[in-house]
Structure 1
Amino acid sequence: MVAGGHSVVLLAAVVSLAAVSAFVEELDDTFMKTPRAEEMWLIQVYAPWCSFCRQLDPVWNTVASELRSLGSPVNMGKTDATANTGLAKEFQVRGYPAILMLKNDVTYNYQGPRTKDGITDFANRVSGPVVRALTSHQLFQHAMMRHQVLFVYIGASSPLKVNYVAAAKELIVHTYFFCATRDVLPKAATISTLPAVAVFKDGTYFTYDEEQDGNLKAWINRERFLGFFKIDSYTLYAMGDSGKLVALALVDDRNPSEKSIWYKNLLEKAATDYKELYSRDFHFGYMEDRDYIEGLVMGEVAVPSLMVVNLSSDGYFLPPGSVETEEDLLDFLNGVLDNRIECQGGNGFTQRFRRFTYDTRNTLTSIFSQAPLLGCLLLSFPLAVLCLFCAMYYKLRVPDELDHQEPPDTSRDRGATSQGDQQKMVADKKAD
């Protein structure tokens, strides 16, 4: 009876998985040849040997089921880059798994965390209007509750709105964009000059000033992050486009020590209390996943610890001494800004070569631990090619050396032989 019950549960799970997988279409190189101007597609480009791709599979199927249940117009697909090289080349895929959205013949690349919520939010954001209208006070409040960072254009049509829409078309992959009239704003938001672009975050708001903030798109890219928050490796990589330095507390958030909590609170206090002083130059946050940072410094990183990262140059700064007080932290941040503290790492030739060696070693180690046979194949292939080239070189070089070798001088031997024959003939005549 128990065995029968287990069979029923297993069968139900298989049927459920098959039903969910049916929402994802397997695509090949003929996909781009079919006119799809009116369709929207969310596509995963994967490689069969990629462990991260295999981890994404159940998430991908869940996202497909979620979008289908919500009545989303987005179609879900996936394609094997090793079998469909034309499609991978068309999408300019450089790493796996790659996630992208096709809408109106425009490709939007997803760079966020590989989670159900992150991917679903990306699909809903890009598939909808570039700029969403907030037509009532209730809608505005609802948007503020849903989004921790809220960009809003306020006012009638203007050149500023044209620039705002243009920036939104490019940055919609990262954040939502809204427009509203003055009368739907919260009472605390007193914006005197219109038109204006405002960002609401961290319990407050501030407006874009072209004279002080420069390019609107660059300003949005800088301000689309919270003042202090938990940062993952995907978000840290995306912060590289903002042009700001990132002040980080590296902690173990699952088993926090007193020092971890102290570093987090200290950095958050600096981000809040000294916002006017540091917000133009720094992002502030804390990280639990250290893989990206260890790849940057090419070694193990102590936890807990503090550091500042310059993502535009792959450089990093470490405190010259222990950080025990708020004054120590502020001195460290000021030292970074006025170049008193040396930047380590970087993207020079030597550093790039060292990082390539480090990444290659880690990749091979990961492959050997997860798929030893594949690791042996990948390692033996270049060695086999090298041996083949050496054999061909040797085979071509030996006959060439033989062709240029001087023939032996046999004239002296022939002369000596002739003289010996003559002497023998004389000796024979005397004997007769």
Structure 2
Amino acid sequence: MAEVRASLVCGVIAAFLSSAVLAFVEDLDDTFKETRVNDIWLVDFYAPWCGYCKKLEPVWHDVGMELKSSGSPVRVGKMDATAYSGMASEFGVRGYPTIKLLKGDLAYNYKGPRTKDDIVEFTNRVSGPAVRALPSKQMFEHMMKRHDVLFVYVGADSPLKEKYHDVASELIIYTYFFSASEEVLPESLALPELPAVVVFKDGGHFAYDEYEDGSLSSWVNKERFQGYLQIDGFTLYELGETGKLVAIAIIDEKDPTEESSRLKSLIQRVAKEYREHFNRDFQFGHMDGNDYINSLIMGEVTVPSVIILNTSNEQYFLPSEPTESMEQLVQFINSVLNGSAQAHGGDGFIQRIKRVVFDGKSTIMSVFRSSPLLGCFLFGLPLGVISLMCYGICTAESDDGSEDIKREGLTDEEEEEEEEEEEERRRTAELEGREEGENEEEEEEDDEEEEEEEDDLGEKDPGEKKTD
């Protein structure tokens, strides 16, 4: 009895906790458009049949619980985009799941990894002010320790400050933006002129120059990454939005070798020592393993090695000889920069066809590796049907006019009846031919008799003719 009670109590507690977790995420309907105006919302637009949406569901509940427990003003919800397709299209939903933070009239798309920590970090950053103030040196030092990349506007009100606020409102989905007075900065930090926009990263600081760096938005977008970083598939996708070429050392971190360490060190040194030469055009880093790169270039890259990717047009560059020193690496990078290096790949018509074939082949191989029986059923059955059809077409008997070949669709008895009818027709034709021949012979004999009678009359003498 005690065990039954204990199990009932546990069931009640589990049901209560489950309902509490579900309460942190609100189900939204078509009234959401009117009720959302006064609140900040983090919404997951999903489809019931979407596998990625189902995978995100427990993470989404954890996000709701985390934001609620931390006292965040952001409300978390989810909407079935298939049931409310009109509202989903108004918010610009094109795929599932789509995560958006809605703040007033602004809608921010989340493009990062679908983990609880990353989503919560995004929410806390975007839901706050676009530009946060740094009132003291202690706060400045705290933010320097917390962030690898820190953008700070220094100075009083100016047109540059207005531009900075506009850029912050646009790019806050990627990084934080701060403002401070000159007194807040370290005394060792000397800026040539104020106001200024400064980025702190890689152990130094770099100021924005409108004449050399172009628009402030483009400069911030390029500088939001460290000069050297570990690169994966998602990071490479984000780097493509900066417009930079990506120089990567491909290594195997699970089985490090001396050559891998040497290439990684060379890339790091070039990123730091040649920043002034290459920072505007190149991003440097390393990648663990070559699987992603192989699928990207549809080829095989040795490990360890160096490769430069142009993510805008899917071109890639490989050194023509082994990279033994930093001078050789710098020479290779310069050859890519001045256009003398040979480019591979691209996004031309032939490459697109190769991409379709490669993706199809990869899909088939992945299916067979994960489930051989399913692969045989999906691909073997259609191939078997097609093979049988081709065999039937190739081995079918053709009609060459011969009487010995059976007519399609007739039984043996029907064929015998047709043969008898054909035999009767032949006999009838022969009889008719014989009668016609006899008639012709009789006509010829009558003609000969008439000719003989005419000859006999011609031989009579004139007297007899007169008597007659």
Q: Same fold (TM over 0.5)?
A: yes
Question: In the aligned structure 2, how far is the partner of 1:303 from the partner of 1:187?
Answer: 46
Flag the 1:62–1:305 CA change in 2: closer, same or farther, 3 A: farther
Question: In the aligned structure 2, how far is the partner of 1:19 from the partner of 1:353?
Answer: 52
SS at match of 2:217: helix
Question: In the aligned structure 2, how far is the partner of 1:294 from the partner of 1:242?
Answer: 22
2:290/2:303 contact within 8 Å kept: no
TM-superposed CA distance for 1:90, in Å, is 2.8
Q: What's 1:302 paired with?
A: 302
SS at match of 2:156: coil
More displaced 10-residue stretch of structure 1: 132-141 or 87-96: 87-96
Query: What one-letter code is carried by the residue in structure 2 that aligns with 1:230?
Result: Q
Flag the 1:26–1:372 CA change in 2: closer, same or farther, 3 A: farther
Deviation digits for residues 90-116 of structure 1, max 9, x if unmatched?
A: 333344432221111211111222222
Q: How does 1:407-418 map to 2 (within 5 A)?
A: none
Q: What's 2:113 paired with?
A: 113
Q: What's 1:27 paired with?
A: 28
Give the superposed CA RMSD. 3.5
Can you give the 5+ residue segments of structure 1 that lack an aligned partner in the other structure?
381-419, 428-432
Question: In the aligned structure 2, how far is the partner of 1:3 from the partner of 1:322?
Answer: 72
TM-superposed CA distance for 1:144, in Å, is 0.9
TM-superposed CA distance for 1:39, in Å, is 1.6
Question: In the aligned structure 1, how far is the partner of 2:130 from the partner of 2:371?
Answer: 42
Q: How does 1:9-408 map to 2 (within 5 A)?
A: 16=17, 18-28=19-29, 30-288=30-288, 292-362=292-362, 369=370
SS at match of 1:67: helix
Higher relative contact order (CA 8 A, sep 6+): 1
Question: In the aligned structure 2, how far is the partner of 1:73 from the partner of 1:215?
Answer: 34
Give the TM-score of the pair, scaled to structure 1: 0.78
Flag the 1:8–1:377 CA change in 2: closer, same or farther, 3 A: farther
More displaced 10-residue stretch of structure 1: 236-245 or 197-206: 236-245
Query: What one-letter code is carried by the residue in structure 2 that aligns with 1:249?
Result: A
SS at match of 1:335: helix
1:309/1:316 contact within 8 Å kept: yes
Deviation digits for residues 330-353 of structure 1, max 9, x if unmatched?
A: 222122112222222222233233
More displaced 10-residue stretch of structure 1: 206-215 or 69-78: 69-78
Question: In the aligned structure 1, how far is the partner of 2:185 from the partner of 2:233?
Answer: 35
Question: In the aligned structure 2, how far is the partner of 1:124 from the partner of 1:222?
Answer: 23
TM-superposed CA distance for 1:290, in Å, is 5.2
**Percent of paired sites with the same residue:** 50
1:293/1:301 contact within 8 Å kept: yes
1:47/1:81 contact within 8 Å kept: yes
Flag the 1:267–1:131 CA change in 2: closer, same or farther, 3 A: same
2:364/2:375 contact within 8 Å kept: no
Question: In the aligned structure 1, how far is the partner of 2:262 from the partner of 2:6?
Answer: 52
TM-superposed CA distance for 1:201, in Å, is 0.5
More displaced 10-residue stretch of structure 1: 242-251 or 46-55: 46-55
1:294/1:300 contact within 8 Å kept: yes
TM-superposed CA distance for 1:289, in Å, is 6.7
Can you give the 5+ residue segments of structure 2 that lack an aligned partner in the other structure?
382-431, 440-468
SS at match of 1:93: coil
Flag the 1:252–1:18 CA change in 2: closer, same or farther, 3 A: farther
Deviation digits for residues 114-146 of structure 1, max 9, x if unmatched?
A: 222221111011100000011111111111111
Flag the 1:55–1:374 CA change in 2: closer, same or farther, 3 A: farther
